[in-house]
Amino acid sequence: MKILVALKRVVDYNVRVRVKSDGTGVETDGVKMSINPFDEIALEEALRIKERGEAEEVIVCSIGSNDVQQQLRTGLAMGADRAIHVETEVATQPLTAARVFMKLIERESPGIVFLGKQAIDDDCNQTGQMLAALWDRPQATFASKVELADGKATVAREVDAGLETIEIDLPAVMTSDLRLNEPRFVKLPDIMKAKRKPLDTVAIGDLGIETAADIESVSFEPPPKRGGGKMVGSVAELVGELKNKGLL
């Protein structure tokens, strides 16, 4: 069985995000970029499945400019067998991404497609669900535990009420939640080995997909600065302050 894992290049979660001075986007020049944390968790789970002997190959893929090859090489250093770079200079909407991954599924025939439940840059939480609909296969989103047996997957999902356990047939789409695992640390020898692993590049135009309608971002602005707190001496004074602010 093959496992296909989608990786997205995002601003590192430790970086303080800054809006460009002209309001046209987020500042990325000189900013550390990393694999989307939820995607990294998805890759770690795929690698653990392979290490248990339940999969033969782990393939990482990403959509974007040449810069995403850095994140693909990191995925290879973590232990993926090969990588696919779908090249485009245009920001990709979730539906377009799902259509791209569908083309890769037709090409690779994986038993599992693993994605992060969402990307920390746009928080869309849509691509995995859209891909399952296009593929017409089961989905298990927000996975916090995955077990495979007899061509099925038993998945514990994090939902508002707590945990929900479902069983789905494979092939299937899964999206990882934060508590699924803790990704491994990449060692220098693994980084050197990753340079010799295959990384294929294909232009998005060569896949013959229909591009979803673009969502135009008109402007970006940081959230308003928060004001300082105020100490009050009594409950009556607190109620009065809340009324003055229109909160009561």
User: What confidence score (pLDDT) does residue 221 get?
Assistant: 85
Poorest-pLDDT segment among 69-78, 129-138, 232-241: 232-241
By DSSP bridging, strand 57-64 and strand 172-176 are unpaired
Domain of 58, CATH number, reads 3.40.50.620
Helix orientation angle between 37-51 and 69-78, rounded to the nearest 10 degrees: 30
Q: Which residue range(s) make up the domain with 135? A: 2-244
Poorest-pLDDT segment among 16-25, 73-82, 106-115: 16-25
For residue range 198-212, what is the model confidence (pLDDT) as tens digits?
Answer: 999 999 999 998 877
CA atoms within 13 A on the CB side of 52: 12
Residue whose entry in the numeric block shows the structure tokens 């974007």:
64
CA atoms within 13 A on the CB side of 161: 2
pLDDT tier at 23 (50, 70, 90 boundaries)? confident
Average pLDDT, the chain: 93
User: What confidence score (pLDDT) does residue 235 get?
Assistant: 94
Of 215 and 240, which is predicted with more confidence?
240
Q: Is the pTM of this model over 0.95?
A: no
Number of domains in the chain: 1
For residue range 126-178, what is the model confidence (pLDDT) as tens digits?
Answer: 999 999 999 999 999 999 999 999 999 999 998 888 899 999 999 999 999 99
Contact 135, 27 (CB under 8 A): no
